[in-house]
Amino acid sequence: MTTPLSFLIYFTAMNPELRVTTVQCNLFWEQPEANRNHIEGLISDAGEVGEVIILPEMFTTGFTMNPETHAENLESGRCATIDWMRQMAKKHEAVVCGSVAICEEERFLNRLYWVEPSGQMLYYDKRHLFSLGKEHDHYKSGNKRVIAEWKGWKFSLNICYDLRFPVWARNAVIDGIPAFDVQVFVANWPEVRIVHWSRLLQARAIENQCYVAGVNRQGEDGNGVAHNGGSQVLDFNGESLMAHPDFKDSVLTTSLIADELHSFRARLPFLSDADRFTIH
């Protein structure tokens, strides 16, 4: 079988190895500056980091349902957390991503920012709002899937509750090329359902034949909800490459290998047989 030219271009554009750093940490309840300083210190203490640094969901506040007083307002013309992410991305020559409570055009959004060292950025607004926690009463839902590209690798951006919805998270093959190579899930996933977190991360990796990075917070939030972390990176076979210790702040880095991903997909070309569908 002849390999399509489009695939060869796609493959050769990818860095053979991409290092991903995941930051699991406790969060100071609704204290953005304290959280930024804490995370910056953790990353600095870790020493060398990868080309992508992933932070938890709402990493400046915890999972707050008080956006009226704690969301960062884009209409003000300055967002301290976006400025900080740009500084961190430039300092470490890496993409920095994580979600933040944002106010835009009088709407509150749980928004994941993907910030490059150049200062350029993409963002994804959380599609599935956590109704059990009344998130839908305070925030507006996004309606667009977002795939970011870095060093030739394609990243599907997702937030917490999105993990439970495999249709939204489904990979697809277009002209012989999968839509993404890595799925990112940033979260405030509680300890009481952490088994679901681990098994769903594994399911997303297996069904989408991609690497998966799940980054969760640890510690008790302002509502008394306990989080043990469970942050991990899995390969395309659902095997854990790296896992954070429970109930501890930690910064870990692991490598994603392009040749191993493509070889696995070539041996087991299941994505090509997937159903085609449209999400509304």
Q: What is the pLDDT of residues 212-248, one digit of tens each?
A: 999 999 999 999 999 999 999 999 999 999 999 999 9
CA 237 to chain CA centroid, Å, is 19
The C-alpha torsion from 130 through 135 and 137 to 138, rounded to 10°, is -150
CA distance 264 to 120: 33
Residue 92 counted as domain residue: yes
Residue 11 counted as domain residue: no
Residue 173 counted as domain residue: yes
Residue 275 counted as domain residue: no
Residue 273 counted as domain residue: no
**In which domain, by residue range, is 205 found?**
18-260
- Which pLDDT belongs to residue 1? 41
- Which pLDDT belongs to residue 4? 64
In sequence order, the 6+-apart residues with CB closer than 8 A to the CB of 74 are: 102, 103, 104
Is residue 160 annotated as a catalytic residue, yes or no?
Answer: yes
- Which pLDDT belongs to residue 9? 74
Catalytic residue among 57, 72, 135, 191: 57
Question: Are the CB atoms for 64 and 101 separated by under 8 Å?
Answer: yes
Return the minimum-mean-pLDDT range out of 6-15, 39-48, 138-147: 6-15
Give backbone dihedrals phi and psi of 71, rounded to 5 degrees, phi first: -75, 145
**Is the confidence at residue 40, as pLDDT, over 90?**
yes
- Which pLDDT belongs to residue 149? 98
Is residue 126 annotated as a catalytic residue, yes or no?
Answer: yes
Question: Are the CB atoms for 204 and 232 separated by under 8 Å?
Answer: no
CATH number, domain containing residue 203: 3.60.110.10
Give the tens place of pLDDT for each residue, 94-128.
999 999 999 999 999 999 999 999 999 999 999 99
Residue 153 counted as domain residue: yes
Residue 279 counted as domain residue: no
Q: How confident is the model over 179-183, as a mean pLDDT?
A: 98
Q: Which phi-psi region, left, alpha or beta, contains residue 199 (left: φ > 0; alpha: ψ -120 to 50)? A: alpha
- Which pLDDT belongs to residue 216? 99
- Mean model confidence pLDDT for the chain: 95
Q: Percent of the chain having pLDDT more than 70?
A: 98
Residue 36 counted as domain residue: yes
**Is the confidence at residue 200, as pLDDT, over 60?**
yes
Catalytic residue among 25, 51, 72, 126: 126
Q: Percent of the chain having pLDDT more than 90?
A: 91
Give the tens place of pLDDT for each residue, 147-164.
999 999 999 999 999 999
- Which pLDDT belongs to residue 12? 82
- Which pLDDT belongs to residue 174? 86
**Is the confidence at residue 2, as pLDDT, over 50?**
no
Catalytic residue among 25, 97, 103, 160: 160
Is residue 57 annotated as a catalytic residue, yes or no?
Answer: yes
**Is the confidence at residue 3, as pLDDT, over 70?**
no
The count of domains in the chain is 1
Q: How confident is the model over 133-150, as a mean pLDDT?
A: 98
- Which pLDDT belongs to residue 250? 98
3-state DSSP assignment of residue 151:
coil
Query: What is the pTM assigned to this prediction?
Result: 0.96
CA angle at 164 for the pair 106 and 172, rounded to the nearest 5°: 95
